[in-house]
């Protein structure tokens, strides 16, 4: 009798911390990867919490989910839109991390009947992944979606940790330039409808013109810059030739809704992405801090929408590469002038569209790195 041997599936352990970070662009990318590799890969997800939006979605693609016993859960100060850690959590970090590490070794060893790739999806799990590399047959991959300011202790620690990984995936050249002595690839986040992108497109489909801020409502995302810029454009919205919207939620949404602003802005809260891009003409992403590879910009391009962004970080890189409009950082006057100029334009053209990663080519590259 001949026994047929079935090819063994690849095994990947995903290290995620959705107790500390909201569901955002990075976790959305991780879910896309899980979705497309799950057919030929056994996936184990290790997280610091039992319940999150990310985990609810990840259950569809992973074989098993483990929860580490200790988590640095954050406390949100909504009035200042910042995050703080309790003193108790900080004092418990070292013994808590040690307990997590023991449990993590137990999980990995109990599942280790062949080579394993450990994929660190957030900077909060890099340290654990580096310790796992001490085990034989472990390959470590870090996917970096954010970065620390240079010349800070966090940045220096992160640089050391990333240098210990077998491979590191950065989401922009700007981000990669911040780190040294790292075996790294640059891979822009994927889009799902590259075949629908039109290089030369008509900007406006709506009358009046609909201009919107899309993103998490945090101060560093530039929401106040957007509001201040609109206040300088009274001649446009008073003539009803333009309307302004804000799509997104966050710790300052309720306070913004309660304020009696002098400008007609509609705060829609969180809305489905397809709905937003069907109803908006121009997207404004005026972050006053550097971002690595903002998904809202890639989504704007893939939906044939003109975007305006600030002149720093990965957002400037995307605008320079693909042809968005760049304004002076943290300058409402510059943004207002740009919006006014844009209102007189009829058509626009993106460039270098071939550099965008459709989901299939993206997953092909990811698999080459993981396996």
What pLDDT, in 10s, does the model give residues 258-280? 887 778 899 999 999 999 999 99
**Average pLDDT, stretch 213-234?**
93
Which phi and psi angles does 326 have, rounded to 5°? Answer: -110, 135
Q: Using omega within 30 degrees of 0 as the cis cutoff, is the peptide bond preceding 191 cis?
A: no
At 77 the pLDDT is: 39
Q: Is residue 284 over pLDDT 50?
A: yes
Q: Look at residue 282 and tell me whether its pLDDT is greater than 80.
A: yes
Superfamily of domain covering 10-191+358-370: Glycogen Phosphorylase B; (3.40.50.2000)
**117-127: per-residue pLDDT in tens?**
999 999 889 99
Residue written as token pair 């002038």 = 337
Q: Which pLDDT score, from 0 to 100, does residue 22 have? A: 63
Q: What is the pLDDT of residue 207?
A: 86
Cross-strand partners of 117 = 12, 139
Convert the pLDDT of each residue in 99-117 to its tens digit: 999 999 999 998 876 789 9
Are 242 and 208 within 8 A, CB to CB?
Answer: yes
Other Cβ atoms less than 10 A from the Cβ of 94: the count is 9
pLDDT for 71 equals: 81
Helix (H, G, I), strand (E, B) or coil at 278: helix
Decide if pLDDT at 332 tops 90.
yes
Identical fold for domains 10-191+358-370 and 194-355, yes or no, is: yes
Mean pLDDT of 203-231: 92
Tens digits of per-residue pLDDT, 31-44? Answer: 999 999 999 999 99
Closest CA to 171 of 35, 50, 271, 315: 315
Domain positions in the chain: 10-191+358-370, 194-355
N-term to C-term CA, the chain: 33
Mean pLDDT of 181-198: 91
Nearest to 226 by CA among 350, 363, 341, 333: 333
What letter does residue 263 receive in the DSSP assignment? Answer: S
Q: Find the range with the poorest average confidence among 6-15, 35-44, 129-138.
A: 6-15
Sequential DSSP letters for 109-155: HHT-SS-EEEEE-SGGGHHHHHHHTTSTTEEEEEEE---PPTTSHHH
CATH homologous superfamily of 194-355: Glycogen Phosphorylase B; (3.40.50.2000)
Q: What is the mean pLDDT of the chain?
A: 89
Work out the pLDDT band at 4, boundaries 50, 70, 90. Answer: very low
Which of residues 19 and 288 earns the better pLDDT score? 288
Q: The pTM is what?
A: 0.88
């Amino acid at each position: 009798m001949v026994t047929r041997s079935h090819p063994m599936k690849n095994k990947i352990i995903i290290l995620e911390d959705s107790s500390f970070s909201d569901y955002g662009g990075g976790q959305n990318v991780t879910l896309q990867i899980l979705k497309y590799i799950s057919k030929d890969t056994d996936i184990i997800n290790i997280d610091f919490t039992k319940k999150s939006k990310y985990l609810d979605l990840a259950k569809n693609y992973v074989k098993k989910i483990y929860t580490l016993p200790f988590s640095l859960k954050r406390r949100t100060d909504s009035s200042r839109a910042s995050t703080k850690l309790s003193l108790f959590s900080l004092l418990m970090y070292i013994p808590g991390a040690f307990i997590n590490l023991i449990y993590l070794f137990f999980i990995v060893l109990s599942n280790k009947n062949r080579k394993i790739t450990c994929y660190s999806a957030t900077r909060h799990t890099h340290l654990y992944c580096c310790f796992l590399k001490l085990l034989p047959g472990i390959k470590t991959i870090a996917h970096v979606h954010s970065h620390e300011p240079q010349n800070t202790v966090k940045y220096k620690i992160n640089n050391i940790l990333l240098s210990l990984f077998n491979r590191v995936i950065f989401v922009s050249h700007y981000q990669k330039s911040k780190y040294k002595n790292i075996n790294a690839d640059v891979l822009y986040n994927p889009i799902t409808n590259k075949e629908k992108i039109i290089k030369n497109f008509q900007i406006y489909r709506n009358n009046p013109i609909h201009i919107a801020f899309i993103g998490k409502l945090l101060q560093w995302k530039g929401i106040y810059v957007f509001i201040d810029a609109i206040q300088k454009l009274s001649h446009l919205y008073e003539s009803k030739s333009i309307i302004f919207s804000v799509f997104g939620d966050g710790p300052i949404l309720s306070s913004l809704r309660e304020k009696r602003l002098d400008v007609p802005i509609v705060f829609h809260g969180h809305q489905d992405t397809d709905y937003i891009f069907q109803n908006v003409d121009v997207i404004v992403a005026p972050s006053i801090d550097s971002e690595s590879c903002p998904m809202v910009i890639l989504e704007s391009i893939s939906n044939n929408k003109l975007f305006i962004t600030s002149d720093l970080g990965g957002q400037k890189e995307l605008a320079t590469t693909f042809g968005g409009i760049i304004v002076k950082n943290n300058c409402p006057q510059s943004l207002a002038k740009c919006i006014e100029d844009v209102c007189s334009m009829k058509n626009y053209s993106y460039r270098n569209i071939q550099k965008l990663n459709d989901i299939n080519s993206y997953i092909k590259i990811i698999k080459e790195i993981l396996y």
